[in-house]
Amino acid sequence: MQKSFKIDDLNIKYDIIHRKVKYWRLEIKYGKLVLITPQGFKNYEKILEKHKKWIYRKLIEYETSKNDAKEKQLNFNRSEENFREIINEYVQKFSNELNVRVNRVYFRKMKSRWGSCSSKRNISINRYLIYLPENLIEYLVFHEMAHLIELNHSKKFWAIIHSKFPDYKEIEKELSIYWFAVRETIIDKH
């Protein structure tokens, strides 16, 4: 169900999705605000009002990343074989550094994330990473492997990330910008 509310002069449209979840959450999906709530939840306006600064900031970040993506150059010269070698080298390196073991590495085309880590110790890498600079690939592999220690994005998780990448917030912004570059150049063209 789509609704709207105002933040200053902006009329923000949002979707409400009811799911079998314990707690509500706000997401920005493709530039649109989504409120995911437990079944029967009705207190939308209170949540939106309480979090309007976060919503506004996230929508601005979305638009900024989208605009900055126009300046990014994708790497079309890396072979699939070379890409997999790079990933496997970083998995080996970070296995030793973090003292963790990866069960399996999967390569998938994903439309909403760069990678994921399962509780079964499997890591999925988005095949679209092939087009990104190697420093972002390195960060992404470390990020997913850190989830082998801390499965969620807790303070402990970000402390692990910070230990290797003190500038991780800037790297996360770069990944967001590159996401738009990949989407507009490759994903949306197919």
Convert the pLDDT of each residue in 141-154 to its tens digit.
999 999 999 989 99
Side chain identity, residue 43: N
Residue 190 reports pLDDT greater than 70 = no
Q: Chain-wide mean pLDDT for the chain?
A: 90
Asked if residue 108 lies in contact with residue 87, where contact means CB atoms within 8 angstroms, the answer is: no
Residues 6+ apart with CB under 8 A from 86: 78, 134, 137
- Taking only the tens place, the pLDDT of each residue in 17-33 is 888 888 888 988 877 88
pLDDT band of 117, cuts 50, 70, 90: very high
- Note the pLDDT of residue 189: 63
Residue 49 pLDDT grade (very low, low, confident, very high; cuts 50, 70, 90): confident
Q: Confidence band (pLDDT; 50, 70, 90) for 136?
A: very high
Share of the chain above pLDDT 70, in %: 94
What pLDDT does 84 receive?
97
Of 45, 37, 40, which Cα lies nearest the Cα of 5?
45
Kindly state the greatest CA–CA separation across the chain: 52
What pLDDT score does 4 carry? Answer: 67
Find where tokens 């592999």 sit: 141
Indicate whether 187 pLDDT > 80. Answer: no
Report the alpha-carbon distance of residue 81 to residue 46 in Å, rounded.
51
The band of 160, judged by pLDDT with boundaries at 50, 70 and 90, is: very high
Q: What are phi and psi of 15, to 5 degrees?
A: -105, 145
The yes-or-no verdict on residue 39 having pLDDT over 60 is yes
pTM above 0.85, yes or no: no
d(CA 173, CA 115): 16
